[in-house]
A and B are shown apart, each in its own frame.
Chain A
């Protein structure tokens, strides 16, 4: 078994990012924020914002998701590659939705 050859000059793969240990205090704060968001979204559903009810609900859900991703899933402290990967996943999902919607939104155009 060859010894691990660590050659700084030739190491084109900088694998040393900080092994950050997130403190329980941060976890606690995020936990609180998530519960708050849940209460908020239930309350908002009882208010009448018309068509914006859905927007508010999605916005709150997205915020909660971002908090989970950044802190519980450590993406804030992860490598650029990880961040790019997460972005790529959501981007592709958005492509699926928006390109499908080009059909559904415009099917009735010109018909009445």
Chain B
């Protein structure tokens, strides 16, 4: 009744010298192909969690925008279209440079890869810099919820084109800014994590790690980077472009 016969033969695990597989192949995988597909699939599953993570914030946004539309309009007008559009363009550029980086890795071109990764890094930092400028401006104008929020700008707008809001709707602008900071803040956190990992990848790519056939890490990081870009593609119109014709 014993199946020992199958399992207790002496191990055939010999020295690595006998192996003819790529150095980056992990032993629990049968082939590089399987490893690559598994890690790509794993990365996509992680991105699914990110969709649902941001999804909660988008749900909150949807509900409150419906409830407090006038407050959202006025709040949105407080953001700079110029900086928002610029940031969107910056991120789209960085997605392009990232895609080119993956391409360079596939073609095993080390210096090109490093160049594209550095470009992506720089653009990512530019984005964060502009974001910091915007956040600072919000702080100066007392539009940070919970910390120094004031409805003064909404009940008595200095801009002649803006109509003053009644007090209760003016107070709802705090909900708009809460969502603004929560959503762009969470996005910025993901950007910070992204540029930090990019730094490490740049160093490793310079050493040639990703131009000898093992490009999965660059590909998977690219997926992450593009995802963060997609989040911003939605954040931009939803936060910056509410009813700009008014």
Contacts and interface: CB of A to CB of B under 8 A. Distances in A.
Contacts of A22: 99, 103
Contacts of B41: 81-82, 85
Nearest to B230: A65
A65 B91 CA distance: 13
B222 A4 contact: no
Nearest to B47: A89
B229 A15 contact: no
Interface stretch (B57-65, B124-132, B191-199): B57-65
A1 B19 CA distance: 8
Main DSSP-derived SS at the A contact region:
helix
A96 B85 contact: no
Interface size class of A (residues with CB under 8 A): 35 or more
A42 B81 contact: yes
A73 B222 contact: yes
A47 interface: yes
B48 A45 contact: no
Contacts of B159: none
Given A15-B33, A101-B62, A61 B27 contact: no
A102 interface: no
Main DSSP-derived SS at the B contact region:
helix
Interface hub of B62, B88, B89 (most chain A Cβ within 10 A): B88
Nearest to A3: B20
Interface in B88-107: 88-89, 92-93, 95-96, 98-100, 103, 106-107
Given A96-B52, A96-B55, A31 B30 contact: no
Interface string A20-41: 0110100110110011001001
Interface in B214-232: 219, 222-223, 226-227, 229-230
A90 B37 contact: no
B222 A61 contact: no
B23 interface: no
Given A27-B96, A34-B92, A72-B95, A45 B103 contact: no
Given A1-B18, A21-B106, A72-B226, A100 B59 contact: yes
Interface stretch (B142-150, B178-186, B203-211, B237-245): B237-245
18 contacts: A1-B12, A1-B18, A22-B103, A27-B103, A38-B85, A47-B245, A61-B233, A64-B233, A65-B233, A72-B96, A78-B40, A82-B40, A89-B47, A89-B52, A92-B52, A93-B52, A96-B52, A100-B59
Given A1-B13, A22-B99, 6 more contacts: A15-B31, A57-B238, A72-B222, A89-B52, A96-B52, A96-B59
A-B pairs, top 10 by smallest CB distance, nearest first, are A45-B241, A57-B237, A89-B48, A45-B244, A31-B96, A93-B55, A89-B51, A34-B92, A48-B245, A72-B99
